[in-house]
Amino acid sequence: MKVMDRLQIKRSLKIHAFVFLGLILVQFWLGMTINLEIALPTLNHDGISALIYYLVHFWPVVSHAIVAIVILAVSARFLMISLKSGSRALVVTASIGLAAVLGAIYNGVAFLTSDQFFGNSIGMAMSAISAVVAYAVSLYYIGSIQSEGAEMRI
């Protein structure tokens, strides 16, 4: 079994948190570009057909979706590392962050497949802000991980 000391866990958590925050900034930029610069058509297709149409015809929507998937992967990995840290506070904030990311993705898909309902747009934005807050709080708790002492098993 691979062994990782607390300093490596702390460093990995910091990197993942800052990568997440950078990606969410890119995601915000893409979302605002879509919102302000692109007139998305209202479609009367089922959910999958509407998503395929948007993904084929609008590169910012494709970029937004790809960044969302990367954010989801980073969030899941952050939770896994948090579980190894032994910090309950980090596990809670990482879980909240992952739930918020899933909420943003859900609202994004619902926005595109439900005549661009404003409530889904707000839900996407509020979920993203909730995730940012969770990761900001996580950075505080990452500092509380003790760097000295016994190694932790992965």
pLDDT tier at 150, thresholds 50, 70, 90: very low
Q: Kindly report the pTM of this predicted structure.
A: 0.81
Question: What is the C-alpha to C-alpha distance for residues 121 and 142, in angstroms, rounded to an integer?
Answer: 32
Check residue 88 and give its pLDDT: 93
Question: For the domain with range 3-39+50-153, which CATH number is right: 3.40.50, 1.20.120, 1.10.3470, 1.10.10?
Answer: 1.20.120
Percentage of the chain beyond pLDDT 90 is 50
Check residue 86 and give its pLDDT: 84
Tell me which of 1 and 66 has the higher pLDDT: 66
**3 state SS of 38:** coil
**Residue among 100, 82, 81 at smallest CA distance from 27:** 100
Check residue 152 and give its pLDDT: 45
- 39-43, 127-131, 143-147, range with the lowest pLDDT: 39-43
- With beta carbons less than 8 A apart as the criterion, state whether 42 and 116 touch: yes
pLDDT tier at 50, thresholds 50, 70, 90: low
Quick one: CA dihedral 136, 141, 144, 150, positive or negative?
negative
Quick check: 132 pLDDT over 70? yes
When pLDDT is averaged across residues 34-41 and rounded to a whole number, the result is: 73
